[in-house]
Amino acid sequence: MTNRISQRVASVPPSGIRRFFDIAATMPDVISLGIGEPDFVTPDVIRRAGIASLQRGETRYTSNSGTIEMRNAVAAKLAALYGVHYDPETELLITVGVSEALYLAMTAILDPGDEVIVPQPCFVAYTAEVTFAGGIPVPIPTYVETQFQVTAQQIEAAITPRTKALLIGYPNNPTGAVMSHARMAEIAAVAQKHDLIVLSDEIYDRLVYGVEHTCVPALPGMKERTILLGGLSKNYAMTGWRIGYTAAPADLLAAMRKVHQFTIMSAPTTGQMAGVTALSDPSAEEAVHAMIASYDRRRQLIVKGLNEIGLDCFEPQGAFYAFPSVQKTGMSDEEFANGLLQEEHVAVVPGNAFGVGGDGYVRCSYATAYEKIEQALEKMHRFMQRHG
């Protein structure tokens, strides 16, 4: 039998992130600045809520949409933080992380040949999920000169009669960029003018430093055309619990729920019970603020250190990534990352893994201990002295 693999799947290369993790896993003393995962353990009050749920025997499926308690908690949090209001019955769906929410959104809205504008560098799954759903990703690069913020002019220039949606993610992975309110409002105006659906991945919404996050559906006229993707993995250090959510207009949400019903059934029950506590307990909120303060301290250390050793790095204002340029070394981002891993056992991710605009940069996660970041910077300095 020939052509056993679909062209859609075959056309998507393997994740550029996983390859470096696989190599690093064979080296016992690697300092990883690669993985995009909090190094904190899930706060105790949230863990205890999950344990209590198990002890009560809450181990069955929930509603396809998620427990009403979890949906109410998400709705209350979005209203409190951003003043945007969703009906927990018809406009909210609890998912297996944001990754599932992204898959559901693409599958629900795209027909073969529909185009989706995807500013890059971006999370590695964005263009892949567009392709898997039969759509055509239209990448547009962002640049350090505009703090890696896509502009309304760039988006409008990329629109064609086949354009159906815009997929954006701010705070951004891998750059750490945060979209200003003014620029986001300009983008919203373009989306309304051209009747685009906007998919806004706001998984890092709480992890901002000295600036405010702009919630896209909270902008005037945007709730009815925005699919908001969010979750607990990053803000609450709950990656392994696999709890995300999507908030969207009722018609879009119903289509996403239909795909969810036949694909997943429901998000993990224990994770949802813990999630209610994460979103509503004052102790959990205190833990979030403590983690943000720790990330900010590490952010300042790594940005200052990278610039001092000759790796130009703009100041990220969100998430937990620095995105320094390695162009002064004369090496490509792949060569730099490979050399640093082999010679100094420090793992970073080549920028080209994140699409156009990433060439010549590497992603350094500061979601690791302060002391390990200090050690990594010393090792990177040695590497630079040998190759500078």
Which stretches within 11-43 are classed as H helix?
16-24
pLDDT confidence of residue 215: 98
Nearest-CA neighbor of 103 among 232, 256, 212?
256
Is residue 378 exposed (0-12), middle (13-18) or buried (19+ Cβ within 10 Å)? Answer: middle
The answer to whether residue 119 scores a pLDDT higher than 70 is yes
Average pLDDT over residues 353-367: 95
Question: Was domain 44-281 assigned CATH 3.40.50.300?
Answer: no
pLDDT confidence of residue 124: 93
pLDDT bracket for residue 1 (50, 70, 90): low
% of the chain with per-residue pLDDT over 70: 98
The fold of the 7-42+284-383 domain, in CATH, is Aspartate Aminotransferase, domain 1 (3.90.1150)
Q: Any residues with CB less than 8 A from the CB of 233 and at least 6 apart, and which?
A: 37, 97, 98, 203, 239, 241, 242, 243, 244
To which residue do tokens 């050399």 refer? 339
User: Are 257 and 204 within 8 A, CB to CB?
Assistant: no
pLDDT digit string, tens, across residues 374-385: 999 999 999 999
The angle at the Cα of 8, spanning 148 to 96, to the nearest 5 degrees, equals 65
The angle at the Cα of 269, spanning 207 to 99, to the nearest 5 degrees, equals 45
**Cα dihedral angle (175, 179, 183, 185), rounded to 10 degrees?**
140
**Domain segments of the chain as ranges:** 7-42+284-383, 44-281
pLDDT digit string, tens, across residues 191-244: 999 999 999 999 999 999 999 999 999 999 999 999 999 999 999 999 999 999
pTM (2 d.p.): 0.95
Q: Which residue has the higher pLDDT, 307 or 24?
A: 307
% of the chain with per-residue pLDDT over 90: 90
pLDDT bracket for residue 265 (50, 70, 90): very high
User: Are 271 and 97 within 8 A, CB to CB?
Assistant: no
pLDDT confidence of residue 28: 80
Average pLDDT over residues 73-99: 98
